[in-house]
A = this chain, B = another copy of it.
Amino acid sequence: MNPDHMKTVKPGGTIGILGGGQLGRMLALAAARLGIDAHIYCPEQDCPASHVSAGFSCSAYDDERRLTAFASAVDVITTEFENIPANTARFLTNRKPVFPSVKALEIAQDRVDEKAFINGQGIATAPWRRVDTLDDLKEALADIGPDGVLKTRRLGYDGKGQTRVKSIETAAAAFAGLDNAPAVLEGFIDFEREISVIVARGQDGEIRCYDPGENRHAEGILRETTVPANISPATRDNALRIAGQLAKALDYVGVMGVEMFVMRDGSLKVNEIAPRVHNTGHWTIEGCAISQFEQHIRAVCGLPLGSPARHSDAVMTNLIGDDVDAWQTLLATPGTALHLYRKGEARPGRKMGHTTRLL
């Protein structure tokens, strides 16, 4: 870390957050606990984070006038989502410290760069091939077998922009469905379970990891995370080591989520890295004295990281679409904490809230 880019935000200071969704909302609430104000920058009016934050700039991510004013109003800047335009982050970096760095964001925004970076660290992923053309696709299928997942290189999340393919015909159709946008083919792997590690790295390079959670997805969207994951101590140690190594290699500052597949022999393959607080870390609000949200605030504000110790086992369950209609029943369920994100309409696939049940 270049010392020029170190910055301590003290209580009474202000953290700028790019994005106003539920992650920004929970970050703002965590900052509040430390006496730090949040200022949200988000193109959408009435976004979840705006209602709990001291400041709110509502404009497009390329509005340089508003971005300049935003940078002036805050002490340090972070982001709640990985698809923030790199140009926006770069523009702001010239005005105030931005954590995580533009470089870390750029790597995580591009599946090809991300996988190349991970493999470059000697860390396994599923086999993959870059797919820019139909010829690339054919070659990739020949190399890593017909069974795989075709994903856009950029802007995918929650299963969007990805299709399971099983033959050259389904693959070609999927590629056409992406309007031939740059893509990546990932070989299908027969993993035993999926886990994720929430890792934090401070401005001073200190690293802290929460215990891995075990994740269950449906239709490409996370449904449930359980801690601890049902893995051996050796696999756990390896998972934490991998997450720490990736954070260090990215010169990362803040919290990031590292999703991994656990193979039947206990070995690990990294699925993806998310350069932000992560849905699979929501259980830390109830399960730990210091949540992933506060940990992220501490890291980007140059404050000491907190202990990631878990005092209780937990199951976090997402409330997706009309799952949220059960809110009154959930409120009355003993040992269950309910979080609602204050989104208006419960559209299918939309994350409306979550519960954490302490075990």
Contacts and interface: CB of A to CB of B under 8 A. Distances in A.
Interface of A: 11-12, 25, 28-29, 32-37, 51-54, 286, 289-290, 298, 303-304, 306-307, 309, 311-312, 327-328, 331-332, 334-342, 344, 353, 356, 358
Contact of A11 (B286, B289, B327): B327
Contacts of A286: 289
Nearest to A33: B339
Contacts of A298: 331
A304 B332 contact: yes
Given A289-B337, A340-B35, A358-B289, A51 B54 contact: yes
Contact of A33 (B12, B309, B340): B340
B289 A340 contact: no
Contacts of A52: 28-29, 32, 52-54
A342 B37 contact: yes
A342 B11 contact: yes
A342 B35 contact: yes
Contacts of A28: 52
Interface centre among A34, A54, A358 (most CB of B within 10 A): A34
Nearest to A358: B289
A309 B334 contact: yes
A53 B52 CA distance: 5
Sorted nearest first, the 9 A-B pairs with minimum C-beta distance are A35-B340, A304-B332, A51-B54, A35-B342, A307-B334, A11-B340, A32-B52, A304-B331, A289-B337
A336 B305 CA distance: 11
Contact of A303 (B11, B290, B328, B358): B328
Interface centre among A54, A289, A335, A337 (most CB of B within 10 A): A289
A311 B342 contact: no
A328 B342 contact: no
A37 B51 contact: yes
Given A12-B342, A28-B52, A29-B33, 5 more contacts: A11-B327, A32-B51, A52-B54, A289-B356, A306-B331
Contact of A309 (B29, B335, B356): B335
A290 B356 CA distance: 11
